[in-house]
A and B are shown apart, each in its own frame.
Chain A
Amino acid sequence: MADLFSIFRKSEFLQEVGHIAKFAGRFFSEGFQPRYEFREFIRQCYWVGYKSLPLVGITAFIMGLVLTIQSRPTLVEFGAESMLPSMVAISLVREISPVITALICAGKIGSGMGAELGSMRVTEQIDAMEVSGTNPFKYLIVTRILATTLMLPVLSNLSNAISLYGGYLGVNIRGSVSWHLYWAQVFDALSYGDMVPSIIKTFFFGFAIGLIGCYKGYYSTKGTEGVGRSANSAVVVASLLVFIIDLIAVQITDLLNLT
């Protein structure tokens, strides 16, 4: 957080925003021109998607379970216990599951990218790549940003499913709702207006996490201390961006009357 405050305190904030925008522009201008680094892209998808799945899955399960248990007393008080599956489904799918998944990924993937690229920068591995005739921006950055952009919606959808399963167990700790009734209530409560905006915003979450993680790592300086700082500020800035994107997405969804 100290890093973030220092950005605000000085007028460097706008400069930093400008640099990140330029970095994003470079991604769009170079990312869709050959040569395509398919092998590295697949490897990154494996690391970002498959390797994050256990953490995302466990968190989602606990999230669904806890949300259901915590919400139950209030609904019982209003005599609306039967609304529990619907309420849990809407809360999880629309908001909680995508945002928590994105925050977990900002922590795990964002810091990982910041540290990995940062250490590659300070140990001259990025220069070595350039000397080998490889465009390091394409090989390291484009593949990582694309992987996070495409894998985050997948992780978020899996998180939705697992958290709803956690919700089913939560409902049955105190009450008794059959498997079929629970899922019937869940799907009755959900509409495309809940699902589609939720999925679309996760693409932006993924892009922001990849972009910030890569940016912080790629321009890491000052040796090992700089690597630590890059990893730390990648998490802080990416998490903040997730909330800002979420806020904008909610406003747009509301304006378009999608829910």
Chain B
Amino acid sequence: MEAKAVIEIDKLNKSFGDNHVLRDFSMKLYRGENLVVLGKSGSGKSVLIKCIIGLLYPENGTIKVLGEDIGNYDQKQLDKMRVKVGFLFQSNALYDSMTVRENLEFPLRRHWMKETQERSEVDGLVMDALTDVGLAHTVDMMPSELSGGMRKRIALARTLILKPEIILYDEPTTGLDPITGREISELILKVQEKYNASSIIISHDMNCIGITSNRVVMLIEGKCYAEGEYGELSQSEDEKVRNFFI
């Protein structure tokens, strides 16, 4: 029996002026899988996941998240959907003016926390998320006091705090040294196992792709050019595909 698709994208088109980034792009993300979207810089990978989360609007095509077409969503419905879909930004996007604790509490305050909610309960959720990424000791630090790898982990903890069903990673290992990059990749795997989360990972870091991917989709010239498992694609005879694995 085929696994259930949690994200279905059908004939998605998005352009910026004359630059047609996505052309009839279609793909599916199945429950519990890590799907890597691979492509050259500027090929529209980040645009794709920003369309999924509703930060960008496609010209046409449909995006179904957990079975519902988000194209007709109003702001309230979009916010509700975003509780179930976490997003890890390439630049981490931690709020500079807030401590790590406040950064993690921010999405909680928006979605879950009531004024009457026990402080200890909130602290517990924050500490759980930080423990998952191995940085419980940084709770009262400012983002500026953390290294690049630590920031990435904190950003991941902030994404995990709402326990999303789907996580979108935008180049999670970019700008990190190979060792830290490997640690982040292993963390993505750990998150997949612990939360049974389905993920789309945008990357062109082959080590990260090798560790995290269950399936790889190649985005070339705005289209889904090829898809398959990492080992399968790395042995492909198509030059365009093989070039990525050299």
Contact = CB atoms under 8 A, between A and B. Distances in A.
B82 A123 contact: no
Contact of A133 (B79, B91, B93, B97): B79
B89 A133 contact: no
A125 B111 contact: no
B96 A132 contact: no
A51 to B, nearest CB: 13
Contact of B87 (A123, A125, A131, A134): A131
B110 interface: yes
B95 interface: yes
A123 B93 contact: yes
A3 interface: no
Interface residues of B, number: 20
Contacts of A128: 87, 89, 93-95
B93 A125 contact: yes
A128 B161 CA distance: 14
A124 B110 contact: no
Interface string B68-87: 00000001000100110001
B179 interface: no
A130 interface: yes
A119 B107 CA distance: 20
Nearest to A123: B91
B99 to A, nearest CB: 14
Interface string B89-115: 111011111000000001100110000
B106 A132 contact: yes
Contacts of A135: 75
A132 B82 contact: yes
A88 B95 CA distance: 46
Contacts of B93: 123-125, 127-128
Contact of A131 (B53, B91, B94, B95): B53
Nearest to B98: A125
A133 B83 contact: yes
A132 B90 CA distance: 16
A135 B74 CA distance: 13
A97 to B, nearest CB: 31
Nearest to A135: B75
A144 to B, nearest CB: 13
Contacts of A131: 53, 55, 82, 87
A120 B95 CA distance: 8
Contacts of B53: 131
A134 B110 contact: yes
Contacts of A125: 93-96
Q: Which of B75, B94, B110 has the most CB of A within 10 A?
A: B110
Contacts of A120: 95-96
Interface of B: 50, 53, 55, 75, 79, 82-83, 87, 89-91, 93-97, 106-107, 110-111
Interface of A: 116, 119-120, 123-125, 127-135
Given A124-B89, A124-B93, A129-B106, 10 more contacts: A116-B97, A120-B95, A123-B96, A124-B91, A125-B93, A127-B50, A128-B94, A129-B95, A132-B107, A134-B110
| 3 cross-chain pairs, A with B, having the tightest CB-CB distances, nearest first | A128-B93, A133-B79, A132-B107
